Amino acid sequence: MIKTLNHIIEFIEVHLCEDITLEMIANEAGVSDYHFRKIFFFLTGATLSEYIRMRRLSEAGKDLLSGMKVTDVAFKYGYESIDGFTRSFKAWSSTLPSDVYRTKTCTLYPKVSFSISVSGGINMQYRIVEKPAFHLAGVTKRVPMQFEGVNQEIVKLAQSITERQREELHRIQNVEPKKVVNASYEADARFMKEEGELTHLIGVLTTETRAGQQLETVAVPALTWAVFPCEGPFPGTLQQTMADIYAQWLPSSKYELVDAPNFSWTTMDEERSGYATSEVWIAVKPLN
């Protein structure tokens, strides 16, 4: 995967002045758009679209510094108007394009390069599980993305579950892991920047296609799952494990992500306050 990532970086550089779509990049990488976008973001902290935009603006700054006209630079990097280019360049660099040559000052955003580092490496326990189709059943809510700390909207969702709903969930729960799970799916396109929303479900796994007591059901097809156990302070350990899956495990594994609900379960330790045992289930498929 590291080789593929570096190949894509070079592909972007070659086509920086052309219309680069996420579908083109996914095809070039030989993996799904969903998989590549997630891996790229967790490794770089930027979405693919943001990275391409910042690389274009960085190269535009070099052209302006060399004396190239603002109009020519704007159209070279795909902007349809001078005003649009000026706004984008000013927001990115805090400098007007017309001032770059005069002040001999520009902002640089260098291309990234990926490598494997063994220093500070981590061991990640995981197992691969083949699972037949099932349904997720539970209460759902659109909640804001949040990578760290306690998401208060999820807390409110959990508090909203009635006793009758709990009884119904217990009745229909018949698929392993027989735990109350937190599942997420249908994320906004902006979720990579922690600005969008996704659907969060608190419930159980079941073969039932319908559930009473105003519970929602979500069909999940037969899939392969990578399962990651973790133990430690909650929710920090769980959130760090999820980040490590995308930034550490997936780039070096022989699997790619499947666009399906992912879920986790957590059991709080009765003897140690704030301490928990969890498992994260991620839908994957072998790389071609």
Note the pLDDT of residue 195: 55
Average pLDDT, the chain: 86
Q: Which amino acid belongs to residue 49?
A: S
- Count CA within 13 A, CB hemisphere, residue 60: 32
Where along the chain do its domains lie?
2-103, 127-286
Q: To which H or E segment does residue 232 belong?
A: strand 223-233
pLDDT tens column, 126-168: 888 999 999 999 999 998 877 667 788 899 999 999 999 999 9
Which class is domain 127-286? alpha beta
Tokens, residue 125 = 């326990």
Question: Please, which residues have CB within 8 angstroms of residue 61's CB and are 6 or more apart in sequence?
Answer: 89, 93, 100, 106, 107, 108
Q: What residues are paired with 199 via a beta bridge?
A: 142, 185
pLDDT tens column, 171-190: 999 999 999 999 998 877 54
Hey, what long-range contacts does 156-163 have (CB within 8 A, 24 or more apart)?
157/200, 157/202, 158/202, 161/202, 162/213
Note the pLDDT of residue 119: 39
Q: To which H or E segment does residue 262 belong?
A: strand 262-268
At residue 29 the predicted structure's pLDDT band, cuts being 50, 70 and 90, is: confident
Tell me, which fold does domain 2-103 have in CATH?
Arc Repressor Mutant, subunit A (1.10.10)
How many Å is the Cα radius of gyration of the chain? 23
CA 23 – CA 33 distance, rounded (Å): 6
Smallest CA-to-CA distance from 77 within 4, 31, 92, 42 is with: 92
At residue 115 the predicted structure's pLDDT band, cuts being 50, 70 and 90, is: low
pTM of the model: 0.67
Note the pLDDT of residue 43: 76
Express as a percent the part of the chain with pLDDT over 70. Answer: 93
Residue 138 and residue 201 in contact, taking contact as beta carbons nearer than 8 Å: yes
User: Residue 112: helix, strand or coil by DSSP?
Assistant: coil
Mean pLDDT of 251-266: 88
